[in-house]
A and B are shown apart, each in its own frame.
Chain A
Amino acid sequence: MSSLDTIPVTTEVATGNVEPLLHEIRHALKRLAEGKEGTVIDLKRLPLAPGEEERIAATLGTGEVRADVDALGPTLIQETSYPGVWLITHKNADEVVVARFIEVTYIPELLRSQQADIDAGINRLENELKN
Chain B
Amino acid sequence: MRKDQNLGEYLRMQGVSRRGFLKFCSATASLMALPPSAVSQVAEALATARRPSVIWMSFQECTGCTESLTRSHAPTVESLIFDAISLDYHHTLQAAAGHGAEAAREAAMEENKGEYILVVDGSIPNGNNGYSTIAGISNHDMLIEAAENCFAIVAVGTCAAFGGLPNANPNPTGAVSVSEIIKDKPIINVSGCPPIPVVITGVLAHFLTFGTIPELDALGRPAAFFGQNIHDRCYRRPFYERGQFADTFDDEGARKGWCLYKLGCKGPTTYNACATLKWNQGTSFPIQSGHGCIGCSEPNFWDKGGFYDPISAGQWGSRDALLGAAAAGAALGVGSALAARARKKKAQAAEEI
Contact = CB atoms under 8 A, between A and B. Distances in A.
Judged by CB atoms under 8 Å, the answer to whether A and B touch is yes
Interface of A: 8-16, 40-42, 44-50, 52, 69, 71-73, 75, 90, 92-94, 96-99, 101, 109-110, 113-117, 120
B235 A45 contact: no
Interface string B9-30: 0001000111110111011001
B304 interface: no
A44 B282 CA distance: 8
Nearest to A44: B30
Interface residue SS majority, chain A:
loop
B280 to A, nearest CB: 9
Contacts of B22: 109-110, 114
Contacts of B236: 13
B257 A11 contact: yes
Contacts of A47: 233-235, 275-276
Contacts of B80: 72
Chain B's interface: helix, strand, loop or mixed, by majority?
helix
A15 B26 contact: no
B233 A72 contact: no
A94 B76 contact: yes
Given A10-B256, A45-B33, A92 B75 contact: yes
Given A90-B23, A96-B281, A11 B17 contact: no
A3 to B, nearest CB: 15
Contacts of B39: 40
Given A44-B30, A50-B235, A114-B17, 16 more contacts: A9-B255, A9-B257, A10-B256, A12-B256, A40-B37, A44-B282, A47-B233, A47-B235, A47-B275, A48-B235, A72-B75, A94-B74, A110-B19, A110-B26, A114-B22, A116-B18
B99 interface: no
Specify which of B16, B27, B35, B239 lies most central, judged by the most chain A CB atoms within 10 Å of its CB.
B27
Nearest to B235: A49
B77 interface: yes
B19 A94 contact: no
Nearest to A119: B18
Interface in B211-264: 233-239, 255-257
A49 B80 CA distance: 29
Contacts of A72: 16, 20, 23-24, 75, 80
Nearest to A71: B20
Interface residues of B, number: 42
Contact of A92 (B77, B257, B277, B288): B77
A20 B167 CA distance: 44
B41 interface: no
B353 to A, nearest CB: 83
A119 B77 CA distance: 26
B5 interface: no
A110 B40 CA distance: 12
A8 B24 contact: no
Contacts of A15: 235, 237-238
A32 B193 CA distance: 44
B36 interface: yes
A13 B257 contact: yes
Contacts of A113: 19
B238 A71 contact: no
Q: Which 5 A-B pairs have CB atoms at the shortest separation, nearest pair first?
A: A40-B36, A71-B20, A114-B18, A11-B257, A49-B235
Interface in B73-99: 73-77, 80
Given A94-B72, A94-B73, A16 B238 contact: yes
Given A45-B276, A98-B27, A116-B18, A92 B238 contact: no
Given A40-B36, A48-B235, A92-B76, A99 B27 contact: yes
Nearest to A69: B19
B278 to A, nearest CB: 9
Contact of B26 (A8, A73, A101): A101
A11 B252 CA distance: 11
Nearest to B233: A47
Nearest to B22: A110
